[in-house]
A = this chain, B = another copy of it.
Amino acid sequence: METTVQRIIDITELALRDAHQSLIATRMGIEDLTGACRDLDEAGYWSIECWGGATYDACIRYLNEDPWERLRTFKRLMPKTPLQMLLRGQNLLGYRHYQDEVVERFCYKSAENGVDVFRIFDALNDLRNIETSVRAVRKVGRHAQGTISYTVSPIHTVALFVDQAKRLQDMGVDSICIKDMAAIIKPQSAYDLVKGIKEACGPDLRLHLHVHATTGVTMVSLMKAVEAGVDCVDTAISTMSLGPGHNPTESFIEMLEGTGFGTMVDLERVLRVKSYFVSKIERYREFLSKVTGVETEIFKSQIPGGMLSNMENQLRQQGAGDRLKDVLEEIPLVRKDTGYVPLVTPSSQIVGTQAVLNVLMGHYKVLTGEFADLMLGYYGAGPGEKNPEVVRMAIEHTHKEPITCRPADLLKPEWEKLRSEALPLPGCNGTDEDVLTYAMFPQVAPKFFARRHEGPLNVGTDPLTGVSEMHPAEGHQGVITGPITYAVTVSGMEHKVTVAPFNPSTT
């Protein structure tokens, strides 16, 4: 079939970040990644995503690897292709809001160490939470990509998302990404949304689409997005794809044949990357996601597959393994009470945990501190109207007042304090990078600094001999046990929410 290619579709490769996060809990050590870098760099991708919250967390928590050194290594090995990271706006890679100076310093240091493209999102789509980082990234001359956290609800119309896109454009972002973290964007929705944004923002504003593969429909959504005018899509090399991961890069390239669309990506190079990861992923079999097929139930609960199986485990530990169905039915109700927040870190964990508590303890008999904060505006403003009755309960439980300002505006300057706490830690090297590590991971950073000189661990296992060179430190298996007495914990994809009973001092 001879057809002229009329439009080039760019590709962002996810193998080094989201793919190995979604499939093997971000456990790949740097030495198992470097061998793919040359082919990745030569293949002709628009960007290579290789850094983000879970990468950073796993590096210091499990791999005794300096995440900044990983970033510099990638930059050295992939000098041609822009490197991309995922940034949680004002949360950076941590789980609380940081004061603006910390956010700015993080962006500058990330740029300096090698990040070219910053994809910046906020779980609530509260754009005030990404303003500071967008501004900082642009100031340092890097690509600031504003993100729409995609979700489905009665209030999330195409018009609402298009309005958000317009506001991102007004903010001065270099491009926009529709981020479908739960694989729930169906083909027609992808078409309508891309079309709507392109029409509203003009052809010159780049539009990217990030989807997961879990529900089995999103490869078709990519095709419809291409037809509607999307500029770039996210895919992952086939040997690191599907299940809770993403659609395969090679399939995307092949799919376009004859359609009038094409890519600049060199399939031969891509196939070498594919072969490379065959043996590598075998080494991490013990971390492999249990979800391997498709899960269309996600369309209803909007809870990603990884979190689902985790929730099931947690319920079973509580002797309530038979309540999963109740929890899955409760989640949409709790989400409705929040005004339909998108479910993505940290809101997915907050809503999921509250749903578990509602089922086990009774309807809002117990509120987690995080859930109360979400209801009171301490994570930012959500898209819809909250249930006033539940807001009232949150006030009563916490004795805190609802806020409407940008949450970070309540924060005092904190850089010097963080710096003075970090520098004396044994092993801290005195750099701003180390201060940022401490700022974002205050529990883990001290242990990491102290052990860093021992060098990176490789937690993979030789698939032939079954010999593990090094097991991860005990007690760090990705399930974080909160201080809650009834011991309900939920570990999300970025496994970081502790479930605490109402306790004003924790918020």
Residues of A that sit less than 8 Å from B by CB: 1, 3, 186-189, 192, 215-217, 219-220, 223-224, 238-239, 241-242, 247-248, 250-251, 254-255, 257-259, 271, 292-297, 299
Contact = CB atoms under 8 A, between A and B. Distances in A.
Contacts of A186: 254-255, 257-258
B220 A1 contact: no
A216 B186 CA distance: 17
Given A186-B257, A217-B219, A242-B293, 17 more contacts: A1-B188, A187-B259, A189-B258, A215-B254, A216-B251, A216-B255, A217-B251, A217-B254, A238-B293, A238-B295, A239-B293, A241-B294, A248-B293, A248-B294, A250-B296, A271-B296, A292-B292
B254 A188 contact: no
Nearest to A242: B293
A402 to B, nearest CB: 33
The complex is assembled from copies of this chain, and their number is 2
Nearest to A260: B188
A254 B296 contact: yes
Contacts of A219: 216-217, 219-220
| Residue from A3, A215, A241, A251 with most neighbouring chain B CB atoms (10 Å) | A251
A255 B3 CA distance: 27
Nearest to A253: B296
A129 B187 CA distance: 41
Nearest to A152: B1
Contact of A242 (B220, B224, B239, B294): B294
Nearest to A299: B254
Contacts of A192: 1, 258
Contacts of A215: 251, 254
Contacts of A250: 216, 294, 296
A214 to B, nearest CB: 10
A324 to B, nearest CB: 12
21 contacts: A186-B258, A187-B223, A187-B258, A188-B257, A189-B258, A215-B254, A216-B219, A216-B248, A217-B251, A220-B220, A220-B223, A223-B224, A238-B295, A239-B293, A241-B294, A242-B293, A248-B296, A250-B296, A251-B296, A271-B296, A292-B292
A223 B222 CA distance: 12
Contacts of A216: 219, 238, 247-248, 250-251, 254-255
B188 A238 contact: no
Nearest to A223: B220
Contacts of A257: 186, 188
Nearest to A239: B293
A274 to B, nearest CB: 9
A269 to B, nearest CB: 14
